[in-house]
Amino acid sequence: MVCKSILTFPLRIDKYLWCIRFYKSRSLAAQACKKGQIRIDNQILKSSREVFGGDLLHIRKNQMEYVIEILALPSSRVGAKLVEQYAKDITPQEVRDARLQIAEQQSMSRVEGGGRPRKKNRRDLLDFLEDNEA
């Protein structure tokens, strides 16, 4: 079931990526286009490039390569639940798994207790020192 707010004419790539909530703002989507992070058929796109239903987008975001198929073009920004009607994420599962594995390794490599102590750490330390003095 497709929503009634579907455009029949092409839509700019920056506006499309903003409409399907891939980027928080159109300017972020335009910057990604300028940096060469958005491609169709290995062609780097300008933010003014028009897209159509059926196009495959290759988007590099957060060190991961996403592959998105355009199903339909929305007339305005859609809710998170409706995104599935307009775009389909067909990123290979191996790529997703590899990215998750890298994220886990990065989170585990952080030194526990490194950096500035927080308020709770300071209180625990003061409690410990008071116990030793008594």
**Is residue 91 situated within a structural domain?**
yes
Check whether 4 has a pLDDT greater than 80: no
**Predicted pLDDT of residue 60:** 94
Here the CATH number for the domain that contains residue 34 is 3.10.290.10
Q: How far apart, in Å, are the Cα atoms of 89 and each of 70, 71, 115, 117, 123?
A: 9, 10, 38, 41, 47
**Is residue 127 situated within a structural domain?**
no
Average the pLDDT over 62-85 and give the result: 93
Average the pLDDT over 70-87 and give the result: 94
Check whether 91 has a pLDDT greater than 70: yes
**Is residue 118 situated within a structural domain?**
no
**Is residue 3 situated within a structural domain?**
no
Say what percent of the chain tops pLDDT 70: 87
**Is residue 67 situated within a structural domain?**
yes
**Predicted pLDDT of residue 70:** 95
**Predicted pLDDT of residue 112:** 63
**Is residue 20 situated within a structural domain?**
yes
pTM over 0.85: no
**Predicted pLDDT of residue 9:** 75
How many structural domains does the chain have? 1
Q: Which domain holds residue 67?
A: 11-111
Check whether 24 has a pLDDT greater than 90: yes
**Is residue 99 situated within a structural domain?**
yes
**Is residue 134 situated within a structural domain?**
no
Q: Using pLDDT thresholds of 50, 70 and 90, give the confidence band for residue 102.
A: confident
Q: Using pLDDT thresholds of 50, 70 and 90, give the confidence band for residue 6.
A: low
